[in-house]
Amino acid sequence: MDNQIKKYLFDIQESILSIESFLGEKRNFFEYQKNKMLRRAVEREFEIIGEAMNNILKFDNDFPISSKHLIIGMRNRVIHGYDKIDDGIIWGAIVRHLPILKQEINDFLQ
């Protein structure tokens, strides 16, 4: 695996761990929704994840991450549509997609 791709995978892994740390063990959507600083921190980590994935695809457009285009789409929505961010969509990505992405990234880095 190319060292640059590996660097971006580490960046994604770090952002996933940061999101998990920010949310803590008791993941509560209503607490997330009430805490602007927490929402902004999570959104920033999604920006980093999406940008890193975009950079990976510049090296290898067929890199086998299951939701690579959804990840980049999320990044674009957070950056360019900041005024239309839906907390429910972000939360859904955290609950449904982040664990799968985490497993895929961990598998690649082992």
| Each residue's pLDDT tens digit, 2-41 | 889 999 999 999 999 999 999 998 899 999 999 999 999 9
Any idea which of 17-31, 50-64, 79-93, 94-108 has the lowest mean pLDDT?
Answer: 79-93
The 10s digit of each residue's pLDDT in 94-110 is 999 999 999 999 999 98
Residue 34 pLDDT: 96
Mean pLDDT of 53-64: 93
What is the number of residues in the chain? 110
> Taking Cα atoms as reference points, which of 90, 109, 95, 4 lies closest to residue 45?
90
Asked about 97 being catalytic, the answer comes back as no
Residue 81 pLDDT: 83
Asked about 40 being catalytic, the answer comes back as no
Residue 37 pLDDT: 97
Catalytic residue among 40, 80, 96, 97: 80
> Taking Cα atoms as reference points, which of 99, 76, 74 lies closest to residue 20?
99
Q: Which helix (H) or strand (E) holds 72?
A: helix 68-80
Residue 110 pLDDT: 87
User: Among all chains, which residue has been given the structure tokens 């950056």?
Assistant: 79
Residue 45 main-chain phi, psi, to 5 deg: -65, -35
Domain count, the chain: 1
Catalytic residue among 69, 75, 96, 97: 75
For residue 60, pLDDT beyond 80: yes
Range of the domain at 58: 3-21+28-109
Residue 104 pLDDT: 96
Residue 103, burial from CB neighbour count under 10 angstroms (0-12, 13-18, 19+): exposed
DSSP 8-state code for residue 61: T
